[in-house]
């Protein structure tokens, strides 16, 4: 039994299936749409011209690596970690309480 006309019959015939879906144009279109949504904006990446949109992570990076004040950056990192820990704890407590769970 030959699957394709160019396939020769041998003792151990292996079934070869040709699978070439046409993903090329769709993938290019998808990549273009993603590039439109996630374009790098240099002003937003630095927090704006006067740092008016600077995030806490950007501030920690600037303090630690650009200003070379690693102690201050480490202290801000620990403070951010504790804030996230408290918010996660409150969220877990409220979710459990409002859900009526026994956990």
Quote the CA–CA distance of 95 and 41 in Å, as a whole number.
37
Least Cα distance to 86 among 98, 78, 96, 76 occurs for 78
For residue range 45-93, list pLDDT tens digits in order: 677 778 788 889 989 999 999 999 999 999 999 999 999 999 999 999 9
Spatial contact of 103 and 96, defined as CB atoms under 8 Å apart: yes
Quote the CA–CA distance of 17 and 4 in Å, as a whole number.
9
User: pTM of the entire structure?
Assistant: 0.54
Instruction: Give the domain ranges of the chain.
Output: 42-99
């Amino acid at each position: 039994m030959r699957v394709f006309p160019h396939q020769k019959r041998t003792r151990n015939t292996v079934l070869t299936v040709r699978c070439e879906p046409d993903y090329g144009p769709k993938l290019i279109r998808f990549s273009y749409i993603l590039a439109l949504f996630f374009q790098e904006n240099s002003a937003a990446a630095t927090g704006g011209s006067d740092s008016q949109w600077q995030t806490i992570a950007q501030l920690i990076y600037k303090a630690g690596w650009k200003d070379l004040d690693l102690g201050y950056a480490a202290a801000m990192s620990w403070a951010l970690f504790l804030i996230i820990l408290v918010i996660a704890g409150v969220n877990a407590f409220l979710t459990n309480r409002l859900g009526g769970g026994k956990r």
